[in-house]
């Protein structure tokens, strides 16, 4: 199992994806997701110029050794570009090892700890009737847990509203139900934390009144609040029994969570933009979070995320892996294999990919009654249709950014 070839494939069926395809001398292939939304080509260059030449001729069986070599030999560690590139290699080598063994990757990770993975979908609406319709639509599709995002009176465009941007004249073509838009410049959205804090508790009260107490409801604060604002929101949402409040503060300042935690029992989920176990170390040890949001693609692969989640398990902290559409079907498959195997699985985020994406990436996962399962094909269970991939060249696209009413740039 010597690595003969490693190709970096960029394709943009419904959105941009970067995929690493490793081929061994005995003809096995493995796929890894290296997609970094809005900075895709930086990872392409990192892989093509600095990683692929190091892989050729090395032993595809040595997953841990290859990971440590790529992480430590660069000298410059961590960061989203580096870790997405290393993640793609790690995933591809697990895929190859599974194919060599004739087993799905979850078997190599210890076997299934459950029959399927509870997944949550994204319901949203500018106003309550649209939000209720979206929640109903998700329930009809079988979702058993739902993230709720809402418009805020006085704000034109904010994070997480699927219908937003559909109006004529708004710049940038919007990807299906996700915030990134094609174009040379990021689109500006607006923000007012006080208006948001006044509005959101009433929305959750209305959703609970309409849909009852049972369904797990989640909410994403998207890094916008100060610690004291986040504490206030967590406290004001307690009557509505959230499954979690996500990214309540920009968590680079991890001490902020001590303050939030001391004021609220609303469970906290953090870490979709984290890259390594070091970003989680203190907030896990101090039990400042309840769910680890790290994605396989952005945490350096299956190997390091499994270690992080095993560490979190010591503190009864569970997984809540990031799973928007900018995690490719390969990254999603990796998350499903890992989630099926670990003991402390919590929930999996799931946004369905578009039809073109599903034609480029041939997948074997199942989605039934609100539960995901990665399937039992050897490896990760995803194959790249390169003819289909070749039809969709890269198109520049960016996530939006925020400004306050006075023009100040704010966390998006």
**Considering the complex, what minimum distance in angstroms separates the CB of residue 223 from Mg ion?**
8
Given 46, 106, 120, 159, which residue is catalytic?
Answer: 159
Phi, psi of 271 (to 5 degrees): 120, 15
Region from 7-15, 161-169, 217-225, 327-335 binding Mg ion, contact rule CB under 5 A: 217-225
- Cα-based angle 316, 319, 324 (whole degrees, multiple of 5): 160
Residue 350 contacts residue 97 (beta carbons within 8 Å): no
Q: How far is the CB of 321 from Mg ion (least distance, A)?
A: 11
Task: Give the nearest distance from C-beta 269 to Mg ion in angstroms.
Answer: 8
Burial grade of 26 (CB within 10 A; 0-12, 13-18, 19 or more): exposed
Closest contact distance (angstroms) between CB of 278 and Mg ion is 20
The DSSP code for 353 is P
State which residue, 90 or 220, has the beta carbon closest to Mg ion. 220
- φ, ψ of residue 384 to 5 degrees: the values are -95, 125
Would you count residue 90 as binding Mg ion (CB under 5 A)?
A: no
Q: Of 231 and 269, which has the nearer Cβ to Mg ion?
A: 269
Residue 97 vs 298, nearer CB to Mg ion: 298
Name the token pair of 57: 């001729």
Contact, 304 vs 295, CB < 8 A? no
Residue 337 is among the residues annotated as catalytic for this protein: no
Q: Using CB under 5 A, which of the segments 39-47, 90-98, 264-272, 394-402 binds Mg ion?
A: 264-272
Would you put residue 240 in left (φ > 0), alpha (ψ -120 to 50) or beta?
alpha
Distances (CA, A) of 104 to 34, 45, 53, 379: 21, 30, 28, 5
Rule CB under 5 A: which of 268-287 touch Mg ion?
272
CB of 294 to Mg ion, least distance (A): 12
Which is nearer to Mg ion, 291 or 392 (by Cβ)?
291
Our measurement of the distance from residue 193's CA atom to the centroid of its chain's CA atoms, rounded to an integer in Å, reads 24
Shortest CB 233 distance to Mg ion, Å: 15
CA distance 158 to 140: 26
Residue 106 CB partners (closer than 8 Å, separation 6+): 112, 336, 337, 338, 340, 341, 374
Q: Does residue 159 have an active-site annotation?
A: yes
Q: Rounded to 5 degrees, what angle do the CA atoms 136, 334, 92 make?
A: 145
Return all residues near 15 (Cβ < 8 A) that are at least 6 apart. Answer: 175, 178, 180, 325, 326, 357, 397
Alpha helices per DSSP H over 289-376: 302-313, 329-341, 355-360
Closest CB to Mg ion among residues 105, 225: 225
Smallest Cα–Cα separation from 209: which of 244, 234, 242, 240?
Answer: 240
**Which residue, 33 or 349, has its beta carbon nearer to Mg ion?**
349
Shortest reach from residue 116's CB to Mg ion, in Å: 23
* String marking each residue 156-195 x if it binds Mg ion according to CB under 5 A: ----------------------------------------
Of 122, 138, 222, 223, the active-site residue reads 222
Q: Does 383 bind Mg ion (CB under 5 A)?
A: no
Which residue of 220, 279, 290, 326 would you call a contact of Mg ion, by CB under 5 A? Answer: 220
Q: Does 290 bind Mg ion (CB under 5 A)?
A: no
Q: Identify which of residues 66 and 249 has a Cβ nearer to Mg ion in the complex.
A: 249
Q: Which residue, 245 or 317, is less far from Mg ion as judged by CB?
A: 245
- Return the exposure string of 38-58: e unless at least 16 CB atoms fall within 10 Å of the residue's CB, then b: eebebbbebbbeebbebbeeb
- Nearest distance, CB of residue 370 and Mg ion, angstroms: 20
Neighbours of 221 (CB within 10 A): 23
Output the CA–CA distances (angstroms, integers) from residue 65 to 48, 61, 331, in the order listed. Answer: 20, 9, 21
Total interface residues for Mg ion by CB under 5 A: 2
Give me the residues that bind Mg ion (CB under 5 A), please: 220, 272
* Positions marked catalytic: 159, 222
């Amino acid at each position: 199992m010597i690595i003969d070839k490693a190709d970096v494939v960029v394709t943009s069926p419904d959105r941009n994806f970067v995929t690493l395809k490793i081929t061994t001398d005995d003809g096995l292939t493995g796929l890894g997701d290296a997609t970094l939304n809005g900075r895709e080509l930086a990872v392409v260059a990192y892989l093509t110029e600095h990683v692929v030449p190091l892989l050729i001729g090395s032993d595809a069986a040595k997953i841990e050794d290859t990971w440590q070599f790529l992480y430590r030999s660069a000298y410059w560690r961590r960061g989203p570009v580096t870790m997405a590139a290393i993640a793609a290699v790690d995933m591809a080598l697990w895929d190859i090892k599974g194919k060599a063994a004739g087993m799905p990757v979850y078997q190599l990770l210890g076997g299934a700890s459950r029959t399927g993975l509870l997944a949550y979908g994204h319901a949203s609406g500018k106003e309550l009737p649209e939000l209720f319709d979206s929640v109903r639509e998700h329930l009809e599709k079988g979702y058993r847990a739902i993230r709720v995002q809402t418009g805020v009176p006085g704000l034109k465009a904010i994070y997480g509203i699927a219908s937003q941007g559909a109006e004529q004249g708004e710049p940038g073509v919007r990807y299906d139900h996700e915030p990134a838009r094609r174009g040379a410049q990021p689109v500006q959205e607006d923000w007012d934390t006080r208006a948001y804090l006044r509005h959101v508790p009433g929305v959750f009260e209305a959703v609970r009144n309409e849909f009852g107490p049972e369904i797990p409801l989640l909410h994403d604060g998207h890094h916008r609040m100060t610690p004291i604002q986040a504490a206030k929101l967590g406290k004001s949402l307690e009557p509505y029994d959230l499954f979690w409040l996500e990214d309540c503060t920009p968590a680079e300042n991890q001490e902020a969570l001590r303050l939030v935690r001391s004021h609220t029992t609303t469970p906290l989920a953090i870490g979709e933009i984290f890259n390594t176990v070091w970003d989680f170390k203190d907030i896990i040890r101090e039990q400042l979070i309840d769910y680890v949001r790290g994605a396989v693609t952005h945490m350096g692969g299956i190997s390091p995320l499994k270690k992080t989640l095993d560490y979190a398990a010591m503190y009864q902290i569970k997984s809540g892996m990031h799973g928007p559409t900018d995690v490719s079907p390969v990254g999603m498959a990796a998350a499903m294999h890992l989630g099926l195997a670990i003991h402390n699985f919590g929930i999996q985020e799931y946004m369905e990919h578009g039809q073109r994406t599903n034609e480029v990436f041939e997948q074997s996962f199942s989605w039934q009654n609100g539960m995901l399962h990665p399937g039992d094909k050897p490896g990760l269970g995803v194959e790249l249709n390169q003819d289909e991939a070749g039809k969709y060249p890269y198109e520049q696209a960016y996530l939006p950014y925020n400004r306050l009413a006075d023009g100040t740039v704010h966390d998006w």
